[in-house]
């Protein structure tokens, strides 16, 4: 089946780092991985995972884009910061008093998200008080889905640094 043209933008020279700390739900991580593949962002999985990411598990989950993901794993947040010392941390929590729309994103920044059940722990949050952000909601929900939150933040960060200013239509495959 022929594929139509796709709207594209050039990847950043210094991509964003999407950091999931102890993710628990495989479909959320799969959706985040797809967002990372679509935006040429690096995906970092930190700490204990609530699931397997071995080749068999990925194949069984039908993640046909997994090979497009720049995936890196780390034992803890300290290991991540040692591996990416130039990445400024932006921590996302539903309890932050400031909106992600106020964040001063720069290429190469790390966008850090916590577990689906409890978010980021207090020790991690204390690392960067000045860089803690929330996504405002209009309704009474406790929080947004992890994969939804990552997509909102990554695309806002891309927009803010001008990565979406020069889009083009890539011809479809015959």
- pLDDT tens digits for range 27-61: 889 899 999 999 999 999 999 887 777 766 666 65
Between 2 and 75, the more confident residue is: 75
Q: Which CATH class name applies to 17-135+146-167?
A: alpha beta
Backbone angles phi, psi at 116, to 5 degrees: -60, -35
Positive or negative: CA dihedral 55, 87, 126, 160: negative
Spatial distance between the Cα atoms of 39 and 105, rounded to a whole number of angstroms: 15
**Could you tell me the two tokens for 42?**
């690096």
pLDDT digit string (tens) for 78-118? Answer: 999 999 999 999 999 998 999 999 999 999 999 999 999 99
CB 23 within 8 A of CB 49: yes
Averaged pLDDT for residues 57-76: 80
């Amino acid at each position: 089946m022929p594929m139509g043209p796709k709207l594209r933008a050039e990847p950043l020279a210094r991509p964003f780092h999407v950091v999931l700390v102890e993710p628990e739900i495989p479909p959320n991580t799969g959706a985040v991985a797809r967002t990372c593949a679509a935006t040429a962002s690096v995906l970092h999985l930190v700490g204990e995972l609530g699931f397997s990411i071995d080749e068999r598990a990925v194949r069984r989950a039908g993640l046909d884009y997994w090979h497009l993901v720049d995936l890196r794993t780390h034992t803890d947040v300290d290991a991540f910061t040692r591996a990416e010392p130039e990445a400024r941390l932006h921590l996302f929590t539903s309890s932050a008093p400031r909106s992600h729309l106020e964040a001063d994103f720069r290429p190469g920044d790390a966008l850090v998200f916590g577990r689906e059940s409890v978010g980021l722990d207090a020790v991690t949050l204390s690392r960067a008080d000045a860089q803690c952000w929330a996504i405002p909601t209009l309704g009474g929900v406790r929080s947004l889905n992890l994969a939804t939150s990552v997509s909102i933040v990554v695309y806002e960060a891309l927009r803010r640094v001008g990565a979406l200013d020069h889009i083009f239509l890539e011809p479809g495959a015959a």
